[in-house]
Chain A
Amino acid sequence: MKLDSMYQEIILDHYRNPHGRGLRDPFEAEVHHVNPTCGDEVTVRVHLTGGEGRDAKVEDLSYDALGCSISQAATSVAHDLLVGHTVGEAFETLEAYQAMVQSRGKVEPDEDVLDDAVAFAGVAAYPARVKCALLGWLAFKDAVAQAQASQAQASAQTGGTA
Chain B
Amino acid sequence: MTALASAPSAGATLDVAKIRADFPILSRTVRDDKPLVYLDSGATSQRPRQVLDAERTFLETSNAAVHRGAHALSEEATDAYESARERIAAFVGADVDEVVFTKNATEAINLVAYGMSNASVGDGVDAAAERFRLGPGDEVVTTEMEHHANLVPWQELCRRTGATLRWFSVTKDGRLDLENDPITERTKVVAFTHQSNVLGTVPPVEELVRRARAVGAYTVLDACQSVPHAPVDLHALGVDFAAFSGHKMLGPSGIGVLYGRRELLEALPPFLTGGSMIETVRMEGSTYAPPPARFEAGVPMTSQAIGLGAAVDYLNLIGMDAVKAHENELTGAALLKLQDLPGVSIIGPRSTEARGGAVAFEIEGIHPHDASQVLDDSGIAVRVGHHCAWPLHRAFGVQSSIRASFHVYNTLEEVDALVAGVRRAQEFFGVAP
A107 within 8 A of partner (CB): no
- Check if B373 sits within 8 Å of A39, measured CB to CB: no
Question: Could you say which of A66-74, A93-101, A143-151 contacts chain B?
Answer: A66-74
Complex CA gap A12/B370 in Å reads 11
Give the contacts of B34-69 with A (CB-CB under 8 A): none
State the A residues within 8 Å of B (CB): 1-3, 6-7, 12, 37-41, 66-70, 126, 129, 132
Complex CA gap A70/B429 in Å reads 13
Closest to A41 in B: B399
Point out the residue from B31, B32, B369, B377 that lies within 8 Å of A38, measured CB to CB.
B369
A-B contacts besides A1-B32, A38-B399, A68-B368, 18 pairs, CB < 8 Å: A3-B373, A7-B370, A12-B429, A38-B400, A39-B385, A39-B386, A39-B399, A39-B400, A41-B399, A67-B369, A67-B399, A68-B369, A68-B370, A69-B370, A70-B370, A126-B373, A129-B369, A129-B373
Q: Which residues on the B side are within 8 Å of A37 (C-beta)?
A: 385
- Check if A38 sits within 8 Å of B373, measured CB to CB: no
Q: Which residues on the B side are within 8 Å of A6 (C-beta)?
A: 373
Query: Main SS of the interface on chain A?
Result: mixed
Q: Contacts A39-B393, A39-B399, A66-B399: A3 and B428 contacting too (C-beta < 8 A)?
A: yes
**17 A-B pairs in the complex with CB atoms less than 8 angstroms apart:** A2-B31, A2-B32, A3-B374, A6-B373, A7-B370, A38-B368, A38-B369, A38-B399, A39-B393, A39-B399, A66-B399, A67-B369, A67-B399, A68-B368, A69-B367, A70-B370, A126-B373
Complex CA gap A69/B32 in Å reads 24
Report the 6 A-B pairs with minimum CB-CB distance, sorted nearest first: A68-B369, A68-B367, A38-B385, A3-B377, A39-B386, A39-B399
- Check if A2 sits within 8 Å of B377, measured CB to CB: yes
The smallest C-beta distance from A153 to any residue of chain B, in angstroms, reads 32
- Check if B390 sits within 8 Å of A1, measured CB to CB: no
- Check if A40 sits within 8 Å of B373, measured CB to CB: no
B384 within 8 A of partner (CB): yes
The smallest C-beta distance from A34 to any residue of chain B, in angstroms, reads 10
The smallest C-beta distance from B397 to any residue of chain A, in angstroms, reads 12
The smallest C-beta distance from A23 to any residue of chain B, in angstroms, reads 18
Q: Which residues on the A side are within 8 Å of B393 (C-beta)?
A: 39
The smallest C-beta distance from B32 to any residue of chain A, in angstroms, reads 8
The smallest C-beta distance from B44 to any residue of chain A, in angstroms, reads 15
Complex CA gap A38/B402 in Å reads 11
Residue among B367, B374, B428 having the largest count of chain A Cβ atoms under 10 Å: B367
Q: Which residues on the B side are within 8 Å of A67 (C-beta)?
A: 367, 369, 399
Give the contacts of B337-387 with A (CB-CB under 8 A): 367-370, 373-374, 377, 384-386
Closest to A38 in B: B385
Q: Which residues on the B side are within 8 Å of A68 (C-beta)?
A: 367-370
Complex CA gap A115/B428 in Å reads 25
The smallest C-beta distance from A33 to any residue of chain B, in angstroms, reads 14
Q: Which residues on the A side are within 8 Å of B384 (C-beta)?
A: 38
The smallest C-beta distance from A157 to any residue of chain B, in angstroms, reads 36
The smallest C-beta distance from A144 to any residue of chain B, in angstroms, reads 26
Q: Which residues on the A side are within 8 Å of B374 (C-beta)?
A: 3
The smallest C-beta distance from A38 to any residue of chain B, in angstroms, reads 4
Q: Contacts A39-B399, A39-B400, A40-B399: A70 and B369 contacting too (C-beta < 8 A)?
A: yes
Closest to B398 in A: A39
Q: Which residues on the B side are within 8 Å of A1 (C-beta)?
A: 32, 377
- Check if A132 sits within 8 Å of B428, measured CB to CB: no
Complex CA gap A2/B390 in Å reads 31
Q: Contacts A2-B31, A66-B399: A40 and B369 contacting too (C-beta < 8 A)?
A: yes
The smallest C-beta distance from B30 to any residue of chain A, in angstroms, reads 12
